[in-house]
Every structure is written in structure tokens, then in C-alpha cells.
Chains A and B, each alone.
Chain A
Amino acid sequence: MGKLLHMSVFSQSFSPCGRFLAAGNNYGEIAVFSLSAALSPDATDMSQKPILTFTAHEGPVFMLLSTDTHLLSAGNGEISAWSWVELTKRVVLRVVPSICHFVTFIVFQDNSLIVGGGDNNIHIMDMETGIFKSVLQGHTDYIHCLALKEREGEILSGGEDGAVRIWGPITYIFLVINFFLPEECTRPQFGKWISCLATDSDWMLCGGGPSLSLWHLRSMSPTSVFPLAGCQRDAMFYQDMILAVGEGPHVSHCLLGGSVKAQIPCTSPSLNTLALNLSSTEHRVMTVAGSSDQIDVFTNFSYRAFSLSF
């Protein structure tokens, strides 16, 4: 019971079919929930419990990512792949102790995994063979978040050092664009780290210590700054809205113009991760989780429908 009280959920990922949700917590466990059971009309309390829980890593599971066939999880310096078909069978992709404590990644085209690590570098790994293809260096502190501009094939990374770097395509000669953030964004009382990044072709969202702000990438200037109180840890573009979560027990819906349209209350005092199940039509939900053992599920994004719990 005490363990549940002190649990934090750090990562979530939907299955490729969209019917399952995997969530990772700070004790190194991954729990798989059945969305179809929880969303069905005759759902009971039991359907809000995980159908499967297993220990994936020794340390917290900071990152979960789903490919077509596998669930990738990152823990203390190791990246593991779990087959969605047979979830208890682990395939350790790579153990890189130098990456040590914190890892985040995204999947690039042509089967590469882009891993941003605690050793201040971005590694590009081939998923088939598990060999690191190249290293992108430049950050001076660990990397919080990565974003991908698919069309141009560019990688954006934000780190603890407060810099957002855009890494160019193909040859990976990076274009360093260190943002010196204008005053309206900076919040010195919090710090300068960037903990969330999202892109939508020409637009970029970044936030963290500084306020969440929307940038136009071609001109490299902020177009709007969102007046959100806490530090945002995850944000994404959705249709013509911006969804952001972070400190504070709410999901913020913001308009592109810079106004905060709504703040939907959630159960956790602060939120770490936001996920949208876009791959499935009948289970189109948004789930958020953070500093508690509850994962809030939103069927209609304006209010919380129910919570799954570990």
C-alpha cells in the first residue's frame, strides 16, 4: 500500500493495434492495460487494473515507445525490446552503461532508433543489429526530450542545459541553433532546462523551466508564449490545439494564438506524460499520468472519464 502511495508513472505507450496501453513507473515495472475492456459498456473496477504487470528494469522506466511489433523500454542505462505478442519475453537491445541514468528516444525512419542519453549525446542505433551508427554531440547536460521533423528528416533535441538543437538530415552535420530565449519566455526562478519539445512541420513547441512557447522555425522566433504556471513536461500538437501537461494537476488546452482555452483537472498532483491513441478509431482516448499510481483516461478531451490504476 505504501508503494502505491509513492508511485510515479513516467511513460506510456499505446500498442500498435490501439487496444492496449503500456505504462512504466518509477519502480521499474511496466503494466499493460486493456483499453477495450476498460472502455466497454460493462466495464467493472477490475477492468481498470492492469492485465499484466512485470518488472522491466531496476530503475525507473523513463521511456516507452511502440513500434509495429515491439515495445521499447528504457531504464537504467539499458534499452529493452518486448514483443507485443509475447510481452514477458525480453530482448535486451542494448546495454550502454555510459548512457546511464536517463534515456529518451524516438524512432526514425529506416529503422533507426535515436537515443538521447544522460551522457549529453544523441546516439543513432540500428534496431535490427543493435549497433550504434553515429553519435551526435553538442549538448552540455543531459538530454530531456527529442522531436522529429519527418518531412525534412531533422531531429530536435532539448536538454538540461537549456539549449534546443536542430540536427540536420542525412549527413547529420548538425546545425546548432542555441536558442537564447527572449525575456518573455525565461523564468529564472525555475531554471533554464527544456523538458518538452514538439514539432508540427514549421512550428515548434518548447517548454520546461522557461514558459511553454510556440516558435516558428523558419524565422526562429517565438510567436506566442503560454501563461502556464508550472513547468511543462510534455506537450503535443493536436488538430488546432496544443495539449500540455506538467506541474499542476491539470491538462492545459491552449490555442495557437497563445491563450489558454481550458485546464482540465486530473487526479495526479503533477503530470509527467501525455499520450494520444491516434492509431485506433474506436479507442481514441488521451491518457495522462504523473506523480501517482493513477492514469487518467479522457474519452472526450474536455473532461476526465475514469482512471486506470496500477
Chain B
Amino acid sequence: MSSDTLKKRKAKVIRSDGGTPENKRGRAEGEQSEEVEERRRQGCVHFVTLKKLNRLAHMRLKKGRDQTHEAKQRVDVLHLQLQNLLYEVMHLQKEIGKCLEFKSQHEEIELVSVDEFLKEAPAEISRPHLTKEDPHQLTLARLDWELEQRKRLAEQYKSSLCSKEKILKGIELKKEYLGSLQPGLQAIMQASLPVQEYLSMPFEHVQKQAEVARHLPPPLYVLFVQANAYGQAFDKNLTVSISGDVDEAKALSRPPEDSQDDESDSDAEEEQQNTKRRRATVGVQLDDKRKEMLKRHPLSLCIDLKCKDGSVLHLFFYYLMNLNILTVKAKVSTSADLSGAISAGELLNSESLLNCLYASDHGQETPNPGNRYQFDKVGITTFADYVSELGHPYNWVQSLGGLQFFGDAPQTEGAQSSLSASHMEATMKLLRGRLQSRLALHKQFSSLEHSIVPVSSECQHLFPAKVVSRLARWTMMSYQEFMELSFVQHVVKAGLMKETDLFFMATVERGTARLQAAVVLNPRYPEITPLFSLSLLWKGERSGRTDDNLRAMESEVNVFKSELQGPRPGLQLLTNQIQRLCMCLDVYLETESQVSDGSEGPREFPREKMCLRTARGPNRLKPFKYNHPQGFFSHR
């Protein structure tokens, strides 16, 4: 480049030189041409020197470059060597590091301590002369020892395994043997049952019952225990048994939340069903809810009361879980066939047999006041609709199960066995009495329907030998028919009868006279006297309201229970009342004929009864009281 610039300058110089010389041509053409030539020659020499200098410079440069280049190469080579070495050094260092870091497995093995090793290991392995100095050898030896120990222990382990297998097999055999023993024992137990019965020590039966009884709900359990205890202590004729599905009961005793959740899920599913059918599902839902609320516990208790004449009262007790009440159903089985008494149809009806065992205990409504709110939720108006299916929730049943509900006095809830115990005896006696009285009535009714008043020999002294009036008819009446009668209104007004009572009509006849007696029989007969209301059809109609003597006859029959009930337990009451009624009618008719008619004809009823006097007092009552053994009638 410098050559170029030099050349350019030269060019310029040349031009300018050329220029100037051109300018000066004219004047000194001669002289000038020599100068010019000289100058040209100088210039050329200069040019040549310049080129030479340039050439030299270039050559120097080139040399310098080449030298530099070589030096550079040498340095690079050395640099590479250095790099290689450094790299190798690094590599070696890494290797060393790796080697140093290498943890051999042997360090993870827990070796026995050195002292122990030196003690236990045999000399061949431990080689103490070597290992004392050399830790490497020591470790090796220790590893050897470890290996040998492990081999030994592995062998031991294998042998132990084998022996264990053998022992297990032995156990299996023995188990099988025992298993085969069980049926044998069962057979023995079965065979011993007759012996148990013979000795009347039913152990197995009792055990089985106790086993099942564990799954009973608390009120039924209380009842079971108390009834068993009572039966063993007092009453040999009372037997208790449990019936029902034990597995279901076991399922129930598991947490009930699962079943409730299932139910709510299924409800939700039902709601998500077809909207067109929504009404039906709601109704079905309500029905299901009702059924769920009225569900019974799968286990039920059966108590059998045997009476002397062989008839049995079966009582089935059920527990309604959600309502927390007990219900009972009754059934009577008799030794003799009961038939022939049409009017006695209601007597042993299981629906009404246990009605009013205690006063006003009708068993139509649930005694638990909390149930009211539960019923409102599912739309049950009265419990009475379900009574025939579920049983009667009498108050005494709740008491027997130890359940007490808030009555007039504040009481605590929960199954209490002390409550059950105090009621048990009284209730069992009442139940027996009820059954016996009903059966006795049944027999009496069948005889009454045949117009025979059965009077037992113990009660013969209440009546004269000859009673002419006879019972013509004995029929049963319904509540409506009773209310329609005109001569019973005083009983209705006085509130002495209820719809739950039984109503009968007795007709006593003698000659042209007919006496109709409407009888109100309280379910608690014979504790409560049957109530008679009289109406006489003879020469006109008279009733107890219009005729003081008929009223006196009513009181003669109704008021004197202590005389008429006969020997304990007083089951003769009704028949004695009827016989007394016939006797009083006799007296009435015979003494009434004493009235002197204007027109005398033969008296219809001749005087046969002995009376001291036929009238007494301002209302001139007749003598209705019979005196034994003198056999005459007097006033009370």
C-alpha cells in the first residue's frame, strides 16, 4: 500500500511534473530537455531505489512473519503437551479420588468387633501374627471369619426350616384329629338331651338360649331375664323361648349408620328417576319410610303360661326398634275344643283378650310420647291402624321390659330391670286370672245359651231349691245395639260403660212375664262386677227407672259382689248374678199378684216363696234377700 501511495504520489508528481514541464516548454526547450532528461534519469533511479526498498521491506516483513509463525507453532505444540499432561493429571487425580472414595461392601457388613473376633476366630483365619500389624489383613481375616460364620448359620437356618415344616405337619394332623372329635361330642350332647330332660336340668337348652339372648335388644333382654328368673323362682308353668332370625339380629348390631346411608342414597336415586313418575315414588317413599319406622327387631320373645286345666296362653313380645316400644300378641290354645258358644266369640279373641288388664290400658296408642313426632314425619295418624299387625303396646308390656315413659310424674327412660321385676309377678297373676276367667266364661256361656244357669255346689246356698223363672235367651250385643236400648241410659250417663266392654242380653221368662237384662261386662271381669239393667214386660212395660222394685232387683244383683262371687277366684260371679235375677223375678211376680185387681181371676203366679212381709218402707219394696238355711225371703 505504501508502494501504491508512493506510486500515486509519483503519478501526481509525474503529472504535475509533467505539467510543469509542459508549461515550461516553450521557453527553455533546449535547456530544458537536458534537465528533463537528467531529472528523468534521476527519477528513474529513484524509482528503482524505491522499488528496491519496497522489496526489501516486503522481504523483511515476510521473514519476520515466518519466524513469528514458527515460534507460534512451537509454542502451540508445547501448549498442547501441557494441556495433555494437565488433562492426564486431572484424570489421574479423579481416578485416585474414585479409588479413595470407593466403599467396599465390606464396610456395610457389620462385623463383630475386633476383640471378639480375635477371641472367637480360629487361628487359621485370624492369623494374628499377620493381622496385628496389617489392618488390611485384619480386615480380610475378619471378612473371612464373617463369611464362615454366615455359612454356618445358613446351614443352621436350613435345618431349622426343615424341622419347622415337620412340626407344622404334625400340628395339622392333630387339628384334623380334634376336628373329627367335634361331631362326636355333638352326638354325645344330642344323646344326653333325653337324660337332661329326664333329670329336668336342660343345660344345653339354657346355654343355647343364653347365646341367642345376647343378641336381643335391651328391653327384650330385660324381659327375658326377668321372666326366666320369675319362672324359676315362683312359677314352674311359665316357659320362655326366643324365636326369630339370629343372623339378622347380628347384622343389626353392627353400626347402623351404613344402612341409613344406603337408604338415603337409594332415596336420592329414586328421586332422580323419571320425573313423570315422581308422584308414585314419593308415595312409595313415604310407605317405605313408614315401614322402616315400624320395623320390628328380628328376634321375638315367646312366653307360655300354662294353667292347671291344660290350656296355654301364648304371648309373643316384639320390639319396635325405631319407636322404642314393646308390643304383644296373644294366643290361647286349649286342651279341650271350645265350640258351641256363639255369644262367646269375642271372649278369646286375641285382639281383645288382653284389653284393660290394668284399668284403662287399651293398648291402642303408643305409650311413648316421642313417637308422636316421629309419626308426624311419615304421616301416620294413629298407631291403632297398625296394632292388629304389630301387636298391642300395652303399658304393662313396657313396664315388663323395663321401659318407662313420661307420664304424670317425671320418670327416667331406659330399660330398667328393677321396674320389670316389680311388675312381673302382678302382671303374670293378672294374665293367668284373665285367661282363667275368660275360659270359665266361655264354658258358662255355652251352658247359658242352652238356657241352663250353671250354679256350682259351693254357691247353692245362695238360692232356694226351686227357682221357677228360667233363662230363655242369652245373646251378645254390639255397642250400637246397647246404646239404642232405652232402659240403659242411666248407665251411659253415669259413665259406667266404655266401648271396649262386652255387652250381652239375657231374657228371663216366667209365664207371661218377660224380663230383659242388658249386661255390661268389663274386660277386667271378675274384678269389676258385670252391670245389669232391667226391663220387665208384664202387663205393661216397666224398667228400673219407673219401678222401684226393679231398681231394687238391679241393686240386689249389681252391688253384692262379695256374696255372689263364690269361692276364689270368683269366676262364678256372672252365673250367680243371673240365678239371683231369676230368683228375684220369682219373688217379684209372686208378691205382685197380691195386688187385688178389680176383676179377680186366678192369680197367674201363686205364692210359693216364704216371705215375712211383702212390703217395707215408703216405697214398699219387696223382700229380695234369701236367707239360708231357713229358706225365707226378707228385706235387707
A interface residue numbers (CB < 8 A to B)? 1-6, 8, 10, 59-60, 62, 101-102, 118, 142, 144, 160, 188-191, 193, 195, 233-234, 247, 269-270, 272-273, 291
Are A269 and B545 neighbours in the complex by a CB distance under 8 Å? yes
Chain A residues in 8 Å Cβ range of B548: 8, 247, 270, 291
Name the interface residues of B598-636: CB closer than 8 Å to any CB of A.
Answer: 598, 613, 615-620, 635-636
Query: In chain B, what residue has the closest Cβ to A269?
Result: B545
Chain B residues in 8 Å Cβ range of A291: 548, 551, 619
Interface of B is mostly: loop
Size class of the B contact interface (CB-based, 8 Å) = 20 to 34
Are A6 and B558 neighbours in the complex by a CB distance under 8 Å? yes
Are B531 and A2 neighbours in the complex by a CB distance under 8 Å? yes
Q: In the complex where A188-B597, A269-B545 touch, is A5 in contact with B496 (Cβ < 8 A)?
A: yes
A4 to B496, CA, bound (A): 11
Tell me how far the C-beta of B225 lies from the nearest C-beta in chain A, rounded to whole angstroms. 40
20 A-B contacts, Cβ less than 8 Å apart?
A: A2-B531, A3-B559, A5-B494, A6-B554, A8-B548, A8-B551, A59-B636, A101-B613, A101-B635, A118-B613, A188-B597, A189-B595, A191-B595, A193-B620, A195-B618, A233-B619, A247-B548, A269-B545, A270-B546, A273-B618
Are A10 and B617 neighbours in the complex by a CB distance under 8 Å? yes
Tell me how far the C-beta of B346 lies from the nearest C-beta in chain A, rounded to whole angstroms. 23
Tell me how far the C-beta of B79 lies from the nearest C-beta in chain A, rounded to whole angstroms. 136
Query: In chain A, what residue has the closest Cβ to B533?
Result: A5
Tell me how far the C-beta of B496 lies from the nearest C-beta in chain A, rounded to whole angstroms. 6
Query: In chain B, what residue has the closest Cβ to A4?
Result: B494
Are A6 and B559 neighbours in the complex by a CB distance under 8 Å? yes
Tell me how far the C-beta of A98 lies from the nearest C-beta in chain B, rounded to whole angstroms. 13
Are B555 and A62 neighbours in the complex by a CB distance under 8 Å? no
Most chain A beta-carbon contacts within 10 A, residue among B496, B551, B615, B618: B618
A255 to B531, CA, bound (A): 43
A291 to B559, CA, bound (A): 15
Query: In chain A, what residue has the closest Cβ to B559?
Result: A6
16 more contacts with CB within 8 A, not counting A2-B531, A5-B496, A6-B558, are: A2-B496, A3-B559, A5-B494, A10-B617, A59-B635, A60-B617, A101-B613, A101-B635, A118-B613, A118-B616, A142-B616, A189-B595, A191-B595, A193-B615, A233-B619, A269-B546
A191 to B490, CA, bound (A): 29
Q: In the complex where A2-B531, A5-B490, A10-B618 touch, is A188 in contact with B598 (Cβ < 8 A)?
A: yes
Chain A residues in 8 Å Cβ range of B558: 2, 5-6
Are B598 and A102 neighbours in the complex by a CB distance under 8 Å? no
Are B616 and A6 neighbours in the complex by a CB distance under 8 Å? no
Query: In chain B, what residue has the closest Cβ to A104?
Result: B618
Residue B596, interface by CB 8 Å: yes
Are B595 and A102 neighbours in the complex by a CB distance under 8 Å? no
Are B616 and A101 neighbours in the complex by a CB distance under 8 Å? yes
Tell me how far the C-beta of A42 lies from the nearest C-beta in chain B, rounded to whole angstroms. 27
Residue B395, interface by CB 8 Å: no
Chain B residues in 8 Å Cβ range of A10: 617-618
Residue B469, interface by CB 8 Å: no
Tell me how far the C-beta of A217 lies from the nearest C-beta in chain B, rounded to whole angstroms. 24
A233 to B621, CA, bound (A): 13
Query: In chain A, what residue has the closest Cβ to B543?
Result: A269
A142 to B614, CA, bound (A): 11
A160 to B494, CA, bound (A): 35
A3 to B619, CA, bound (A): 19
A10 to B620, CA, bound (A): 12
Tell me how far the C-beta of A89 lies from the nearest C-beta in chain B, rounded to whole angstroms. 27
Chain B residues in 8 Å Cβ range of A188: 595-598
Residue B529, interface by CB 8 Å: yes
Tell me how far the C-beta of B559 lies from the nearest C-beta in chain A, rounded to whole angstroms. 6
Chain A residues in 8 Å Cβ range of B615: 160, 193
Chain A residues in 8 Å Cβ range of B597: 188-189
Chain B residues in 8 Å Cβ range of A233: 618-619
Are B617 and A6 neighbours in the complex by a CB distance under 8 Å? no
Residue B491, interface by CB 8 Å: yes
Chain B residues in 8 Å Cβ range of A269: 545-546, 551
A144 to B616, CA, bound (A): 9
Are B529 and A270 neighbours in the complex by a CB distance under 8 Å? no
The 5 closest A-B pairs by CB, nearest first: A6-B555, A269-B545, A188-B598, A233-B618, A101-B616
Tell me how far the C-beta of B423 lies from the nearest C-beta in chain A, rounded to whole angstroms. 26
Tell me how far the C-beta of A30 lies from the nearest C-beta in chain B, rounded to whole angstroms. 16
Query: In chain A, what residue has the closest Cβ to B491?
Result: A5
Chain B residues in 8 Å Cβ range of A189: 595, 597-598
Query: In chain B, what residue has the closest Cβ to A272?
Result: B618
Are A102 and B616 neighbours in the complex by a CB distance under 8 Å? yes
Task: Kindly supply a per-residue 1/0 record for chain B positions 528-572, scoring 1 wherever the CB is within 8 Å of any chain A CB and 0 otherwise.
Answer: 010100000000000001101001001100110000000000000
Chain A residues in 8 Å Cβ range of B529: 2
Tell me how far the C-beta of A93 lies from the nearest C-beta in chain B, rounded to whole angstroms. 21
Chain A residues in 8 Å Cβ range of B620: 160, 193, 195
A118 to B635, CA, bound (A): 13
Are A6 and B551 neighbours in the complex by a CB distance under 8 Å? yes
